[in-house]
Chain A
């Protein structure tokens, strides 16, 4: 915690913000010291984004003040926040792919009435800042050719070149490989060593404890914990976030049954009762694999218990394949339809729910009621449109729909295909989804988990395969993988090749 000095660079005092009935921020007071990394933790909807938006001038607080270096920050003016040295790096980058790194950094920094842009000066400044913080970039490389980690560096440089001294990073590691995350943490260390202050928003407790000096936890709009990272541990922070004890998922011994699912292209065999994870950085062909395993078409033949499944979603559902899509809002549910109709979206045509072209409303509603009950879907009644549900509750509905198909088709789930099932969910919902997957595997189901979250992969999987540039590696027992090995594989160097390189 070197470099932390007494005078705060940023002081939030009694920030309150309500949206109608919803109290998004209630009397939040926080301080950020020079050279400090403050982690901001909280579930979805805890008020993190609202707080950051107020800080950045997108919202005006109902009450409370913000001081930067002891001077009050005028509310509701993003320009003032920028001028005061607050910079933000969003989770989703705002970069123009067709422009060079230098152009992206310069974009918006020059008044439009300047006849020529001052590229030479901007280049010198960019290189100076880059060297100072150890952020190596090629100024003339088109952003489109950069890796995700490099793009993030460009985003950070954008903020730094504009003179940011307080940097807000929103879930910065969500899109990075472990090695890229390490590089980011090293950069953060260099930045705080030079007196910058950082607000680090994340839900990965391990890295929060590693990189931050202090942790602030928000829950339901209130600051429930503000303590030194040295005094915190992961269990305690998780409980502070959700306000109750979270039972960690119980992993059982790996005792695979016979091969249940066999895909020939790419070759993949899943045994009954095991969880196989496909790890990889997003955009490396996971979607095509997921589509194939969900019956949306693609190459190869899929056999379930020896039988070839025609590549149609309905055939998959009827054969007992429970499918959880990556994008629960756009693909998993029809937002404008009520919950009960979403609950039968996969099975409405079955005789249980349809007779002579008419939907058997009572049967369908009873089924939906049962799903909501058993899978603890809250936040709506049968007639609430699905879009009103939070991500976690929507995911429970989708999970419940997929796993309850048996009640309709008579076929218990034999294969679960879960694509990023806990993406963006809060701690409680994550634990719930994990437990459901583990229980299903224990009951003899084959589970294919596609995930970018390595904590999740290691917590659940019996075997892990890595996907890179469309190529699916051989699944190997989880115990055989180390974090560096999996990171290398995700970055494209095959583990055996890396080993040979070591030997040479």
Chain B
């Protein structure tokens, strides 16, 4: 048996493959649900209801999906150019910290600038912080061949420790009764709620706009063409005259900026301040989401909503039937593997 590349993929297969992957995922995880002693059908029904079944569930899912879209885009863009940025988690925190530094109420008062000026400044600072954080590893990779997986991953821990130092030091909120949290961003800079009595904020349309813009750049832009060519075959791109090193740096800036923006939006849209547990691994989930989306920026939106829905739904299911919430991680992980295998079958066929 061997795999053979398909010359073209039937449309039915292209649409059917993800559906089959999802069914496979549910079948596999149902074994675990049954093992935990819960009725499988009811557990899945609760999961679906808890993630998407009510106004509250839906708004919670969308709230959770917002930072995931940003980190998913960050991973998708970088992976397209074969820059394996595992550091979105750190870039997200760096962005959050930068947002507080620009928009925070230091010593009870912040920069006295109107919100229409300060808000873009805050976002730009966050994007810049994330971008600069990835620039180092990207430069080391293109100049010295240092593996960016290692450098970006390790930077996450450095950033987290740095955040911890800041939260206990210069950016500590004096009114938080010793709790390690940063000062809050000014009220005028906090993002508006999108829906009454919910936590969904205007960061969501921001995330959607970022996805659309990323898609447009990749599909229509000169930069996108360079990124796709470099990612698909760097040698051929370099031979043809694509400035591959410069492209790698541009990708790093874009990817880091997206993750940094995610951090700023999460701070300004939810708590208003930075804590050390602000992100339950949004950066790492972003990698999974990008892979689930097959590195397509618009697919990232769908994948982020899917993953957020599973996470939120698993919370409520676990309360009702007593299956540990870890089931959500298992579902996402199995779905990732299933989608990757399904994708392989859309591009290859098995021959005997």
Q: Which residues of A contact B (CB under 8 A)?
A: 19, 294-296, 312-314, 316-317, 323, 325, 330-337, 341, 345-346, 348-349, 354, 357-359, 361, 387-388
Contacts and interface: CB of A to CB of B under 8 A. Distances in A.
Contacts of A357: 221-223
Nearest to B230: A334
B228 A337 contact: yes
A327 B82 CA distance: 22
A387 B236 CA distance: 13
Contacts of B7: 388
Contacts of A337: 228-229, 232
Interface string B197-227: 0000000000000000000000011110100
- Where chain B touches its partner, the secondary structure class is helix
Given A341-B229, A348-B222, A359-B222, A332 B351 contact: no
B222 A358 contact: yes
A332 B225 contact: no
Interface in B84-119: none
Contacts of B4: 19
B237 A345 contact: yes
28 contacts: A19-B4, A295-B241, A312-B241, A313-B239, A313-B240, A317-B241, A323-B239, A325-B239, A330-B235, A332-B239, A333-B233, A335-B232, A337-B228, A337-B232, A345-B237, A345-B240, A345-B241, A346-B240, A346-B241, A348-B222, A348-B225, A349-B222, A349-B241, A354-B222, A357-B222, A358-B221, A359-B221, A387-B5
Contacts of B241: 295, 312-314, 316-317, 345-346, 349
> Which of B4, B220, B239, B242 lies at the interface centre, i.e. has the most chain A CB atoms within 10 A of its CB?
B239
Nearest to B219: A359
A139 to B, nearest CB: 36
Nearest to A296: B239
- Interface size class of chain B, counting residues whose CB lies under 8 Å from the partner chain: 20 to 34
Nearest to B228: A337
Given A335-B232, A336-B232, 14 more contacts: A19-B4, A313-B240, A314-B243, A323-B239, A331-B239, A333-B236, A334-B233, A334-B237, A341-B228, A346-B240, A357-B221, A357-B222, A359-B220, A359-B225
B238 interface: yes
Nearest to A315: B241
Interface in B1-32: 4-5, 7
Contact of B233 (A19, A330, A354): A330
Contacts of B240: 313, 345-346
A329 to B, nearest CB: 9
A332 B236 contact: yes
A46 B2 CA distance: 22
A358 B213 CA distance: 13
A102 to B, nearest CB: 33
B225 A341 contact: yes
A19 B351 contact: yes
